Chains A and B, each alone.
Chain A
Amino acid sequence: MNEKELYKALMTEIIQKQSVILGPQIAILKARNVPSLVIGDSGHVTDIKEDPRAALQSLVDEYVKLSGQIVKNALGSIFIKYPQVEGIQ
Chain B
Amino acid sequence: MQNALVTIIAACSILIGAYSYWKSKKLSRDIVASETELKSRMYELSILKELGDKIGYSLNVQKIVDVITGSLNQFIDYSTVSYMLVDPAKIVFKADLQSSVSRQFVDDIKNRMRDSLSALLDKKLDTIPVEEALTGAMLKESNEPVRSFFNIPLVIGGNVVGVLTVAHIKPGLYHEEEMTILYKIVNQASQAVTQLEEVVKTEEGKLNAMVESMGDGIVMTDKDYRVAVVNPAAKFIIGLPNKNDVTIFDFIDHLEGKFDIRGKLEESITLGKIFSADEVAIGGGFFQILVAPVKGSHGTIKGETVAGVVIFHDVTKERQVEKMRDQFTSMIVHELRSPLGNMKKIGEIMKEESIRQDKKAYDEYVQMFSQSSSDMLDIVNDLLDVAKLEAGKFEVSKRKANIKEIIEDRIKFFDTTSRSAKIELAGVFGREIPVDVLLDPLRISQVLSNLISNAIKFSRPGGRVFVQAFMHRNGQDLEREAAEAGISWFKDTENKLPNDYADTLVIAITDTGEGISKENRGKLFNKFEQFGSGNRVDKPKGTGLGLVIVKGIIEAHGGTIGMVSEEEIGSTFYFTIKS
Chain A contact residues, CB within 8 Å of chain B: 17, 20-23, 25-26, 29-30, 66-71, 74, 76-77
Contacts and interface: CB of A to CB of B under 8 A. Distances in A.
Contacts of B120: 21, 70-71, 74
Contacts of B187: 67-68
Given A71-B120, A74-B120, A74-B122, A21 B180 contact: no
Interface in B320-374: none
B179 A68 contact: no
18 contacts: A17-B119, A20-B119, A21-B153, A22-B151, A23-B151, A25-B148, A25-B172, A25-B174, A26-B179, A29-B179, A67-B152, A67-B155, A68-B155, A68-B187, A70-B155, A71-B120, A74-B120, A76-B122
B161 to A, nearest CB: 10
A20 B121 CA distance: 12
A23 B108 CA distance: 13
Contacts, number: 56
Q: How large is the interface on B (under 10, 10 to 19, 20 to 34, 35 or more residues)?
A: 20 to 34
Interface of B: 112, 115-116, 119-120, 122, 148-153, 155, 158, 160, 165, 172, 174, 176, 179-180, 183, 187
Nearest to B174: A25
Nearest to A22: B151
A25 B119 contact: no
A30 B119 contact: no
A67 B122 CA distance: 17
A26 B115 CA distance: 16
Contact of B115 (A20, A67, A68, A77): A20
A68 B112 CA distance: 20
Given A66-B183, A77-B122, A26 B150 contact: yes
Contacts of A22: 116, 150-153
A22 B165 CA distance: 9
Contacts of B152: 22, 67
The prevalent SS among residues of B at the interface is mixed
Contact of A74 (B119, B149, B174): B119
Contacts of A69: 158
Given A20-B115, A22-B152, A26-B150, 16 more contacts: A17-B119, A21-B119, A21-B153, A22-B116, A22-B153, A25-B148, A25-B172, A25-B174, A26-B174, A66-B180, A66-B183, A67-B152, A67-B155, A68-B153, A74-B120, A76-B122
Given A25-B148, A26-B179, A67 B153 contact: yes
Given A67-B183, A70-B120, A74-B119, A30 B176 contact: yes
B151 A21 contact: yes
Contacts of A76: 122
Contacts of B150: 22-23, 25-26
Contacts of A68: 153, 155, 187
B327 to A, nearest CB: 68
A56 B150 CA distance: 23
